[in-house]
Amino acid sequence: MIAIFYAIEGEIGEPWEGFLLKEEIRGTKRQEQGTVLKRGIYNSQEIILVQTGMWEQVSGLGNVYAGQVAEFVLSKFPVTTLIIVATCGGLNKNFKAGNLVMCNPISSEGKQSIFPDFKLCSIAGNMLNERGLRFYMGESLTIPYFARFEEKKEIKKRCPEAIVVEMENYFIASVAISKDVPFLSLRVVIDAFEENSNEREIEECFKKAGNILRDEFLLPFLQEIKKQDL
């Protein structure tokens, strides 16, 4: 089974044509609001779409609930491959909205970095290259909040190797490592490292990001790992 993690509705361009829904699980408690699990079949592959939600923002840590959802999913279902596909904020001045970033390594301040599965990253990188799609590879930093420009400048001073920021990677990846499940994270920049970026621009970029992640990466990648019997 392939588990596909993302944070909120729209990040992977749902609905999917050809996805046969078998079961849907929705969170019912307050801290679970926004969490939706959709188990089904796509292209003869057993898939579970995991929308973690963004509800339990623990001060100084971030969206730790993403890790709790990952623990539940990997304990309940026979997941063999985990893919994180979502949006992020850029820390590289050359990044523009819509740029694809393969997160390697995955970091959180004060903690040991985590590295995704080498084989999955190689397959994804080769596939993107064959499709003529430019992507970047570098460190993603999991932080507790949506960072604005001034906050990003401070983050970049403390963590100069990081090229993007997000709120879930480290928590999900930690669980994947503990369960010995190969994983990969690919994100699309919606908030460039610019002083004058605004909410309207970010919202418009988010609307486009889901289709980019779904059509340009995720669906072709699922076909590729099926061919390689992963």
Burial 137-167 (b: 16+ CB within 10 A, else e): eebbbbbbeebeeeebeebbeebeebbbbbb
CATH of the domain at 132: 3.40.50.1580
Q: What is the CA radius of gyration of the chain?
A: 16
Q: What is the pTM of this model?
A: 0.92
Q: Is the pLDDT of residue 134 over 80?
A: yes
Query: Which residues have C-beta within 8 Å of that of residue 28, sequence separation ≥ 6?
Result: none
Count how many domains the chain has. 1
* Domain encompassing residue 10: 2-227
pLDDT tens digits along 160-217: 999 999 999 999 999 999 999 999 999 999 988 876 666 777 788 888 888 889 999 9
Locate 184 and state its tokens.
Answer: 């990969």
Query: Which residues have C-beta within 8 Å of that of residue 155, sequence separation ≥ 6?
Result: 91, 141, 143, 147, 162, 165
pLDDT tens digits along 22-60: 999 887 665 566 789 999 999 999 999 999 986 555 455
